[in-house]
Amino acid sequence: MRKAILLLLSCSMLTQLIAQPSNDDCSNALSLPLKTPSSCPVSSEVADTFHYTNIGATASNPFPALAGCSGEAPESGADVWFRFSPRGNSITITLAEGLETPFVALFENDSESCGGMYPVACASGAGSLELSTYVDPTRFYFLLVSGGAIEDQGDFELSITTTNECNTCILERQGFFTASPAPDNGAFTSGQAVQMCYVVNRWNASSGGEYLHSLELDLGPGWDQASLVPSPPPSCSGEGVWGYYERWISNSNGQQYGPGFAFDGPILDGNPGNNRGMSGENCANIGISAPQLSFCWTITAAECSPENYGTQNNLNLSVRMLGDGVSGAGLSTFCFEERWDNFLGVLYCPDPLIPEVVVVDGSCGENCDGALLITGGGDGPWDYAVTDSSGNVYYSSTNSIGTDTVPDLCPGFYFISIFSIPTGENRIVTATIGAPLTPQASATYNLPCFEGEPIE
């Protein structure tokens, strides 16, 4: 019996020795299939666990260095992206193994595309992290995972635990934000005017015993609050009107509320604290028998400080829906501590000296024929240097006036230093040279049965 020689050449494979993950950017986010917990009134918990890597990933630009996270958000990191549709209204995200200072940012959207998404929660940790938040099962979510720096890379374990919070204050009161223009990974630019809305897509007055009475706003310090121009929605009922108020006193509890939108009626006396909110037939149950309600406003982001760049200011925004038993003249409430819905944002000021680095991967295996094309930012000339993590210098030049090509680089991780001679400032970026696997041959055979018989 004879066996033919089997020759396998693996150089035709496009697998890279050091390669960017396929989900290195949001447009290629990997879909995470999640289990469905049992529904209310008694919901179960279900957990889904995944194993992925950010080895070879690059940093999103702008990176979501958000304020208001559980822990401090990094300025940058090698990030990868995921997307999912939640199967319940409450999730807990945990990250373990592989990363020294893991970071996650959760984005919400009304579609499965990245355009229009905005951050709603974030967390960082030392070795591991946990982030718990409420979500809307009718919406879509994107998850950024990174380490605390570009160099913080490894294989990690991602788990998402899903359940349903059966509290009426969560189940029957829902809304979402819109922003035009939408932020870029949560970032707005200097002096940018933004039209924002909070859309109430569910308020069940029948189950909660309260009419929707107000929407309270909490604006981060990076917004120019003097520029705010409110656009209250029209009232569904003829029993009053929506308006915007800096503050008012609730008849129910004597506490002060505002700034925000509130309902005044049926007597239009300018005091929203003495009425019961938007009632009326086919109006009180928003998103059920009444249409959605959009509270809108335009507002301008602060200006960038010219001497700084990167993330400069907190453009977070939080809102909470309040019933008439809290901020109006209702007799009682089930929801004493209404939750805040968050829109996390930052003021991003682009670096005028940001360089451009183009990576040319090697041809195969350990062949040292990769290259870097380096162009300084701003006006030249520039001094360039390329080193590895051990400080070994692979290239240097002085007084360059354009793009320098650094040839003959082996696969690996490199630091590129770009010094602007006119400004006296230095920028350091990182790059990874990748390469396909080397060819490998394997053979199987049997010795011939008779001496002199050829091997076929």
Which range (331-335, 412-416, 442-446) has the least confidence? 442-446
180-184 CB contacts, 8 Å cutoff, 24+ apart: 182/115, 182/116, 182/117, 182/118, 183/118, 183/119, 183/345, 184/62, 184/348
Which range (113-117, 251-255, 282-286, 307-311) has the least confidence? 307-311
Q: Quick check: do 1-15+355-456 and 17-166 share a fold? A: no
Give pLDDT, residue 308.
Answer: 80
The domain ranges of the chain are: 1-15+355-456, 17-166, 169-349
Q: What is the mean pLDDT of residues 310-332?
A: 94
With bands split at pLDDT 50, 70 and 90, how would you rate the model's confidence at 259?
A: very high
Give pLDDT, residue 16.
Answer: 41
CATH code 2.40.50 for 1-15+355-456:
no
Give pLDDT, residue 6.
Answer: 29
CATH code 2.60.120.510 for 17-166:
yes
The percent of residues in the chain predicted with pLDDT above 90, rounded, is 80
Q: Whole-number mean pLDDT of the chain?
A: 90
Could you tell me which residue, 162 or 413, shows the higher pLDDT?
A: 162
Is the model's pTM score more than 0.85?
no
- Answer yes or no: is pLDDT of 432 > 50: yes
pLDDT digits (tens, 9 = 90+) for 74-103: 999 999 999 999 999 999 999 999 999 999
Q: What is the mean pLDDT of residues 108-125?
A: 96
The percent of residues in the chain predicted with pLDDT above 70, rounded, is 92
Give pLDDT, residue 452.
Answer: 58
Give pLDDT, residue 13.
Answer: 36
With bands split at pLDDT 50, 70 and 90, how would you rate the model's confidence at 445?
A: very low
pLDDT digits (tens, 9 = 90+) for 212-258: 999 999 999 999 999 999 999 999 988 899 999 999 999 999 999 99
- Answer yes or no: is pLDDT of 149 > 80: yes
Q: What is the mean pLDDT of residues 303-316?
A: 87
Give pLDDT, residue 450.
Answer: 53
With bands split at pLDDT 50, 70 and 90, how would you rate the model's confidence at 453?
A: low
- Answer yes or no: is pLDDT of 438 > 90: no
Could you tell me which residue, 92 or 443, shows the higher pLDDT?
A: 92
What is the dotted CATH code of the domain comprising 169-349?
2.60.40.10
Q: What is the mean pLDDT of residues 339-346?
A: 96
Give pLDDT, residue 343.
Answer: 98
Give pLDDT, residue 2.
Answer: 30
